[in-house]
Chains A and B, each alone.
Chain A
């Protein structure tokens, strides 16, 4: 059978980063090919290449055996490629039918005539009927549920005659029953002779829907497996990388743990943080944490592992007072702070190194000294401020050493040093760090890890959220795994093998 769509050695770089690296695969009619991989593995970039949103640096795309170069996404669409976007691209005040035909509206009396609403509604109803996606073409999109809106997105692609349909994280916003319905839709599309590309983090769902699974890691296609008989843990291991090839290039702890820091002696095993049965919702109102309990002790670094979007961000926000709890209890050093906001938690010694350092942590338009001053309360004393900034710049080796320089003019590594200086400089009791080494060069990464270790050695409890399992193993004492808003397991760092963590991350062991 000739494949409908073929990728031949596709590559695309952004600056230094090779987001997609010589990826080749073939997709046949009636097939569902799942693309899985960690965050930043290149899944979305690959889809964007295939659908004409980006142009490849190298390689080619073949449709029905003929090489094509997309001039635009519309070009790809006209040839029968469609994408159901992760974030919907619908116009809320318009009706279902209007959204579906938008940009290609049928007109009366040929091209120049007025919009033929009746024909649009009839055609959309026909496609919906034929594809088993019941919907009222005259309903307003603003009044539809998330699942129905996604149905409109799918109809949009099908009405335009797509033979290849790509889904980018389609179940991210759906509940379990709706996800199941979507999977059925995807299978039906394939049975009807279309080819489907399905991008998802969720391994169970991928195995339920796909015929083959392609695993991307760091832009490369590392394996393609038949879905039948594929084990989640094997896929998870492929996603995070073979244990024999440390992607960070840093010295790894030897199996005996000789390279890892010696176990810290704790005089008193004091509990700093106690989170009990915590539940909260994400920004869209869907449950994000569903009963998480954690206890962190003085001097301890606890790693949080998990596939992106399984509650890590919300956990960090709950602990730092940025997200209210729906249920459960938060205690810091025995004080009930369940209803405390960020200001009070900071005053109690909670430090936060957020995910998005420039927008979420630092103030790009303000100076280094001002960024530091915002970390602690109290009136501003100009002279003291400058002295403190100079001290922090020395202690954290921020370059260039200019207290008056705008934070946005610093390099990424120096921005992170500045953030650490502000957050760790006031001797916190609890440090919540989210992906603190992401995007940094190796030196800066090493420095960040060293600072977190120092904070722990100084008696702080550290919660480290990271996708980098090697990093977690290197500096954490134990690793807890989050999946679907629950703690699915916990392991001492030296016993946490990729396989074990992968299994926990996929939720298969829950």
Chain B
């Protein structure tokens, strides 16, 4: 292979594996469905109809895809810098509650109110992310640990305090809601396809978010420095990249993106324009899967979020009597795909792809192979 062809191959390779993984995951699920005595073809048809068959299903798909795109970015952007943001769930919830609060509390004209709610959401998520970044930069606390723990802090502060306490819908209208007050109608994201479909401007925000993240990572100095940090922290220090600052910024940005996902789901009517009691949809955790399947690339995240958004929406139809399946099958397929992407070696073996070559360049003075037993030096 000429170097040019090789470089091209390496450039396109990142998305090749996830595509193969998703394909294989679908195949395995089809086999499992057939083994249960149900029809994989009927299931596929139901998913298609439920996800893409008309404006109504498209609205449902786009709501879910929007949330997944942002939580996927929330993981993918810090990951470019070698940072694992496992905190997207908490950040997502924080963003949703912030949007619910601002959307109900402020009396502003539509675009301003939406802007204010999104800004507040971003700030809430970014604060959570920045806290994890600060702990890492200043005290060396690993971001996986801190973001996981911050998830539960955020979720329980929202669930057990804000939603039932200060932000609980007051009984002024005579009957009591569970959850927060609904946001003003000025805060509702504009519908794009009439009142019969929940297709709304959120999907445009998602497209913008993907574009912005792609430009940031690929074309900006911040993105280059972040990728440099991900490639080698030591070399990043050598060229004078402020590693601590970039760590905090990357995790804050990730937190803000996850929070936007939560805010857009809420303002798009995904939860009836209010933050419900005991909210448990795991969009934030799904973001990890979306980022993995999307190979950590914004465009890959967009594709993965669109695919699994459609499947989630379509899954409602899996429960139709003639199909007779539980609606969690897309999540099972997603899980299988993640395992396959993570277990690259297995996947490469199955498709007879070359294992990624480690070119230990002739640079090393003693290219010592691993010793037979425990490394002596």
Contact B234 A363 (CB under 8 A): no
Q: Which of B227, B242, B361, B371 is the one whose CB lies under 8 Å from A53?
A: B371
Contact B238 A48 (CB under 8 A): no
| B185 shortest CB reach to chain A, Å | 42
| B276 shortest CB reach to chain A, Å | 43
Contact string against B for A residues 432-446, beta-carbon threshold 8 Å, 1 for contact and 0 otherwise: 000000111100000
| A426 shortest CB reach to chain B, Å | 11
| Chain B residue contacts of A345, Cβ below 8 A | 240
Residue of B nearest to A385 (CB): B224
| Chain A residue contacts of B11, Cβ below 8 A | 404
Contact A402 B7 (CB under 8 A): yes
| Chain A residue contacts of B371, Cβ below 8 A | 48, 53-54
Residue of B nearest to A370 (CB): B224
User: Contacts A360-B234, A402-B4 hold; do A379 and B365 have CB atoms under 8 A apart?
Assistant: no
A-B contact pairs, 17 of them (CB 8 A): A40-B365, A40-B366, A44-B377, A48-B371, A53-B372, A85-B377, A87-B377, A342-B237, A364-B232, A365-B227, A366-B231, A380-B219, A400-B4, A408-B359, A415-B361, A439-B365, A441-B362
Interface residues in B114-134 by Cβ distance below 8 A to A read none
| Chain A residue contacts of B238, Cβ below 8 A | 320, 322, 342, 352, 354, 360-361
**Alpha-carbon gap, A342 to B4, bound state (A):** 35
| Chain B residue contacts of A408, Cβ below 8 A | 359, 361
User: Contacts A361-B238, A439-B362 hold; do A54 and B377 have CB atoms under 8 A apart?
Assistant: no
Contact string against B for A residues 270-310, beta-carbon threshold 8 Å, 1 for contact and 0 otherwise: 00000000000000000000000000000000000000000
Contact A53 B363 (CB under 8 A): no
Residue of B nearest to A345 (CB): B240
| A282 shortest CB reach to chain B, Å | 16
Contact B237 A412 (CB under 8 A): no
Contact string against A for B residues 220-234, beta-carbon threshold 8 Å, 1 for contact and 0 otherwise: 110011011011101
| Chain B residue contacts of A415, Cβ below 8 A | 361, 363
Cβ of B374 < 8 Å from any Cβ of A?
yes
Cβ of A252 < 8 Å from any Cβ of B?
no
Interface residues in A352-371 by Cβ distance below 8 A to B read 352, 354, 356-366, 370
Contact string against B for A residues 358-398, beta-carbon threshold 8 Å, 1 for contact and 0 otherwise: 11111111100010011101111010000000000000000
Cβ of B353 < 8 Å from any Cβ of A?
no
Cβ of B6 < 8 Å from any Cβ of A?
yes
Residue of A nearest to B365 (CB): A439
Residue of A nearest to B229 (CB): A363
User: Contacts A406-B7, A412-B363 hold; do A47 and B376 have CB atoms under 8 A apart?
Assistant: yes
Residue of A nearest to B239 (CB): A374
Cβ of B195 < 8 Å from any Cβ of A?
no
| Chain A residue contacts of B373, Cβ below 8 A | 52-53, 72-74
| Chain A residue contacts of B374, Cβ below 8 A | 53, 73, 89
Q: Which of B3, B363, B368, B377 is the one whose CB lies under 8 Å from A358?
A: B363
Contact B365 A438 (CB under 8 A): yes
User: B residues touching A (Cβ–Cβ < 8 Å)?
Assistant: 3-4, 6-7, 10-11, 219-221, 224-225, 227-228, 230-232, 234-242, 359, 361-369, 371-374, 376-377
| Chain A residue contacts of B240, Cβ below 8 A | 321, 341-347
| Chain B residue contacts of A356, Cβ below 8 A | 234
Cβ of A86 < 8 Å from any Cβ of B?
yes
Interface residues in A30-61 by Cβ distance below 8 A to B read 40, 44-45, 47-48, 51-55
Contact A83 B228 (CB under 8 A): no
| A439 shortest CB reach to chain B, Å | 5
Cβ of A483 < 8 Å from any Cβ of B?
no
Contact B234 A405 (CB under 8 A): no
| Chain B residue contacts of A54, Cβ below 8 A | 371-372
**Alpha-carbon gap, A321 to B240, bound state (A):** 9
| Chain A residue contacts of B364, Cβ below 8 A | 412, 439
| Chain B residue contacts of A346, Cβ below 8 A | 239-240
Contact B377 A72 (CB under 8 A): no
| Chain B residue contacts of A373, Cβ below 8 A | 224
Contact A406 B228 (CB under 8 A): no
Kindly specify which of A14-22, A108-116, A173-181, A453-461 makes contact with the partner chain: A14-22
| B245 shortest CB reach to chain A, Å | 10
| B27 shortest CB reach to chain A, Å | 31
Q: Which of A14, A83, A413 is the one whose CB lies under 8 Å from B366?
A: A14
Contact A365 B235 (CB under 8 A): no
6 extra A-B contacts, CB within 8 A, seeds A354-B238, A360-B234, A411-B363: A363-B232, A364-B232, A365-B231, A408-B359, A411-B362, A412-B363
Contact A362 B235 (CB under 8 A): yes
Residue of B nearest to A379 (CB): B221
Cβ of A135 < 8 Å from any Cβ of B?
no
| B160 shortest CB reach to chain A, Å | 36
**Alpha-carbon gap, A359 to B236, bound state (A):** 9
Residue of B nearest to A346 (CB): B240
Cβ of A243 < 8 Å from any Cβ of B?
no
**Alpha-carbon gap, A356 to B373, bound state (A):** 25
| Chain B residue contacts of A359, Cβ below 8 A | 232, 234-235
| B220 shortest CB reach to chain A, Å | 6
**Alpha-carbon gap, A361 to B241, bound state (A):** 12
Contact B366 A380 (CB under 8 A): no
User: Contacts A359-B235, A366-B227, A406-B7 hold; do A73 and B366 have CB atoms under 8 A apart?
Assistant: no
| Chain A residue contacts of B6, Cβ below 8 A | 409
| Chain B residue contacts of A366, Cβ below 8 A | 224, 227-228, 231
Contact B362 A402 (CB under 8 A): no
Contact string against B for A residues 322-353, beta-carbon threshold 8 Å, 1 for contact and 0 otherwise: 10000000000000000001111111000010
| Chain B residue contacts of A410, Cβ below 8 A | 361
| A75 shortest CB reach to chain B, Å | 10
Q: Which of B367, B376, B377 is the one whose CB lies under 8 Å from A15?
A: B367
Most chain B beta-carbon contacts within 10 A, residue among A83, A363, A405: A363
| B222 shortest CB reach to chain A, Å | 9
| Chain A residue contacts of B359, Cβ below 8 A | 408-409
Residue of B nearest to A409 (CB): B359
Cβ of A416 < 8 Å from any Cβ of B?
yes
**Alpha-carbon gap, A301 to B228, bound state (A):** 31
Interface residues in A452-482 by Cβ distance below 8 A to B read none
Cβ of A233 < 8 Å from any Cβ of B?
no
**Alpha-carbon gap, A168 to B371, bound state (A):** 16
Contact string against B for A residues 63-80, beta-carbon threshold 8 Å, 1 for contact and 0 otherwise: 000000000111000000
Most chain A beta-carbon contacts within 10 A, residue among B230, B242, B377: B377
